[in-house]
């Protein structure tokens, strides 16, 4: 893993790097996702092929984990904090499970659901606290709602027009539209969404 800074809005400079995911079977594992916590930017989430989710505090050197989760049975491909409530974050994995976590009680997820395809990307809705968009590699694109932060309900499914792996999804800032993209065919599609 490495953290980079932009200087003079022109140049990228590596600030620091470290071995974030190391397996007992290999010297290192691939890191498949990383994201800054939008409410606490000193925290960084990483997930890798080792199936671990790690939360790092970048103020501590050497970089130590705030916590490590070993719940998913395959690689972690997405981790996003809820930008409305610092207690919650969501994870997605190749094990097809989407999970909602409460950082105050990390023993088990608050909610977990098999999405019918490995989850490659998760994106929280820009203005609705409990809506989340998911790119589910072999099962298209889905919008889910966390009912009282305890149950995951699929609100809408966008059939994958790409005939390829569902790999990317993001909301328009209005929250009424999304863009999705796929892997092999290099297509981008847009969708409308009304709550």
Q: Examine residue 22 and state whether it is found in any structural domain, yes or no.
A: no
- Structurally, how many domains does the chain consist of? 1
Spatial CA neighbour of 78 closest among 48, 107, 58: 48
| pTM given for the model | 0.91
Q: Which domain holds residue 141?
A: 30-192
Distance CA 109, CA 184 (A): 33
Q: Examine residue 1 and state whether it is found in any structural domain, yes or no.
A: no
Mean pLDDT of 156-165: 79
Task: Work out the percent of the chain whose per-residue pLDDT is above 90.
Answer: 70
- 3-state helix vs strand vs coil in the chain, percent to 5: 0, 55, 45
Q: Per-residue pLDDT tens for 22-81?
A: 876 666 788 999 999 999 999 999 999 999 999 999 988 777 899 999 999 999 999 999
Q: Per-residue pLDDT tens for 1-25?
A: 999 988 877 889 998 888 888 876 6
CATH code of the domain in which 127 resides: 2.130.10.10
Task: Write out the two tokens for 157.
Answer: 């499914």
In terms of C-beta density within 10 A (0-12 exposed, 13-18 middle, 19 or more buried), how is residue 190 classed? exposed
Distance CA 109, CA 101 (A): 5
Q: Examine residue 11 and state whether it is found in any structural domain, yes or no.
A: no
Predicted confidence at residue 7, as pLDDT, reads: 81
Q: Position of tokens 């990307």?
A: 121
Q: Examine residue 115 and state whether it is found in any structural domain, yes or no.
A: yes
């Amino acid at each position: 893993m490495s953290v980079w800074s932009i200087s003079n809005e022109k140049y990228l400079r590596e600030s620091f790097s470290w071995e974030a995911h190391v397996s007992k079977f290999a010297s290192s594992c691939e890191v498949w996702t990383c994201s800054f916590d939008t409410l606490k930017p000193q925290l960084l989430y990483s997930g890798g092929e080792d199936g671990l989710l790690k939360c790092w505090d970048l103020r501590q050197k050497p970089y130590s984990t705030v916590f490590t989760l070993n719940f998913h049975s395959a690689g972690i491909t997405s981790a996003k904090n809820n930008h409305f409530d610092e207690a919650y974050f969501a994870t997605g994995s190749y094990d097809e499970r989407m999970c909602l976590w409460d950082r105050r009680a990390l023993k088990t997820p608050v909610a977990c659901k098999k999405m019918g395809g490995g989850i490659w990307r998760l994106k929280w809705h820009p203005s609705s606290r409990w809506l989340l968009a998911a790119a589910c590699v072999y099962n298209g694109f889905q919008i889910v709602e966390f009912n009282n932060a305890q149950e995951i309900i699929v609100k809408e499914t966008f059939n994958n027009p790409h005939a390829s792996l569902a790999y990317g999804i993001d909301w328009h800032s209005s929250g009424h539209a999304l863009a999705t993209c796929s892997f092999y065919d290099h297509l981008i599609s847009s969708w409308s969404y009304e709550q």
